[in-house]
Structure formats: structure tokens, C-alpha cells
Amino acid sequence: MSAQSDAVAFATTHWSVVLAAQERSAAADEALEKLCRTYWWPLYGFVRRNGYSPQEAQDLTQGFFALLLERRDFDVVRREKGRLRSYLLTSLKNFVAKSRRRELTVKRGEGRALVQLDQLVAREKADLEPADNLTPDKIYERRWALTLLEQVLTRLEGEYRSADNEKLFDCLKEFLSDEPGRRSQAEVARELGMTENAVKQAFHRLRQRYRELLRDEIAQTVAVPGDVEEELRHFISVLQV
């Protein structure tokens, strides 16, 4: 892909669409809502780690996004170098601080529900994060990284399903993690009726596509192409902690 076509493709990422819109538009609203849904879980985790109950955290997070979608105030973006990750956390901290000072109560159900709250509660109960060892900011960063990984795997699985390679994907995705007890490539080859070398090549292609999709997901959340590499490095550092 040429540098020119790469720049054109980047100009249509979700965050770039939002920042470039001088006035409200259907495309910008849709892009912003998608980004908000992506960041709901990480920001909710930040609020919870600050001592709020599940219901209070739900109300504050929902109220924050309702205000963001309504006002679309992105002045702070310049100070945060155009990174959605930093912009949203800074904005949420300001929102929560003002809510405390004014004793602001966000009414349940106010604004558009970006996530299903019953699903949120179920997810929190199943969460195995070492919360006692993480600050609110670290909780946010970790959930941000894990959410990106979930989106990448969902997109990757969809591509394999579309190509009727669902079983191949289910077997190969085991090799993306270093969890103990995973099967060897020889075992997977026997299950799939393939040679071990064929499995190795198939996993190489899957991992390459996985990296491409991860880069694309991160590109959706920065304002300029030059920030992608730095954000990728930050993503890796978060998961290595």
C-alpha cells in the first residue's frame, strides 16, 4: 500500500472521523458511539476502583458518556496528543471530580444506554483481575488493552467463519497464548488431518493477520498515523506488567 493510500485509509478511522467533523454528522455520531462502547468497561473499572459501588459506577460512567455524546467537547484532545485512551481518562477524572464537588446525581437510565448493564454485572463477577494490586489508572489501562484484544479476536474469528474455517481458527487460537497445558502443533495437526508443517504455516498466517488487525484497532483511537507505533508499544507494556 502506498503512503498516499495509507493516509487516505487512516483518515477514515473512527477517531479521525470524530475529530475532523466540524459539525455533527451521522458518520461522526456513529463513530463516536462505537468508540464509547469500546471504552465503557475500562472507564467503569476506573470508577469502581475509586471506591464507588457498582450502581454508582454505572451511573457515573453512563452519565459521563451521555455528556460526551451531547457536548462533543474535544478541546483537551490537543493536550493529550490526540490519543483517545488519554483523552477519555482525563475527561472522566474531571467529570467525577465535578460530580463530587457538586454532589451531582446521575439519574439511572438517563441518556442512551451504550452497554447492557446486566451483562456488565455478570462480567464483573467473572473478572479475575488482581484489583488489589492495581491503581485505578492501571485498572483502566489493563482493561483498555484486554478490550482491544477481544475486538481483534472477534474480527479474526469472523474472517475465519466467513471462509468456513471455524474449526481451524478454534484450534490455532490456542497458540496465541502461553497458557500451560496447551496442545502441541503435532496434536492439532492430527485432529485436523493436516501435516505439522501445514499447521505451522496456517498459524503463521493467523498470527500475521492478528497483528494487522491489532494495529488497525489501535489506529482507530489515535488522531494521526505517527502515533500508532508509540501506542502499540504502550499496549505491549501494559500487558507485560
Decide: helix, strand or coil at residue 208: helix
Across 48-52, 79-83, 99-103, 120-124, the highest mean pLDDT is recorded for: 48-52
Amino acid letter at 107? Answer: K
Please check the confidence at residue 240 and state whether its pLDDT lies above 50: yes
Q: What pLDDT, on the 0 to 100 scale, is given for residue 184?
A: 92
**Total structural domains in the chain?**
1
Q: What is the pLDDT of residues 45-79, one digit of tens each?
A: 999 999 888 888 888 888 888 888 777 777 656 55
Per-residue b/e over 59-77, b at no fewer than 16 CB within 10 Å?
Answer: bbbbbbbbbbeeeeebeeb
> Alpha carbon 18 to chain centroid distance?
17
The predicted model scores a pTM of 0.76
Q: What pLDDT, on the 0 to 100 scale, is given for residue 86?
A: 87
Please check the confidence at residue 129 and state whether its pLDDT lies above 60: no
Q: What is the pLDDT of residues 14-38, one digit of tens each?
A: 676 676 655 677 877 777 777 788 8
- The residue ranking higher by pLDDT, 130 or 220, is 220
pLDDT mean over 140-168 = 94
Q: What pLDDT, on the 0 to 100 scale, is given for residue 6?
A: 44
User: Does any domain span residue 213?
Assistant: yes
Question: Which band of pLDDT confidence, cut at 50, 70 and 90, is reported for residue 224?
Answer: confident
Residue 216: domain span:
11-240
Decide: helix, strand or coil at residue 100: helix
Q: What pLDDT, on the 0 to 100 scale, is given for residue 234?
A: 93
Q: Are 227 and 82 in contact (CB under 8 A)?
A: yes
- Residues 5 and 209: their CA atoms lie apart, in Å, by 20
User: Does any domain span residue 173?
Assistant: yes
User: Does any domain span residue 4?
Assistant: no
User: Does any domain span residue 2?
Assistant: no
Q: Are 60 and 99 in contact (CB under 8 A)?
A: yes
CA angle, residues 181, 238, 185, in degrees to nearest 5: 25
User: Does any domain span residue 62?
Assistant: yes
User: Does any domain span residue 185?
Assistant: yes
Please check the confidence at residue 4 and state whether its pLDDT lies above 50: no
Please check the confidence at residue 39 and state whether its pLDDT lies above 50: yes
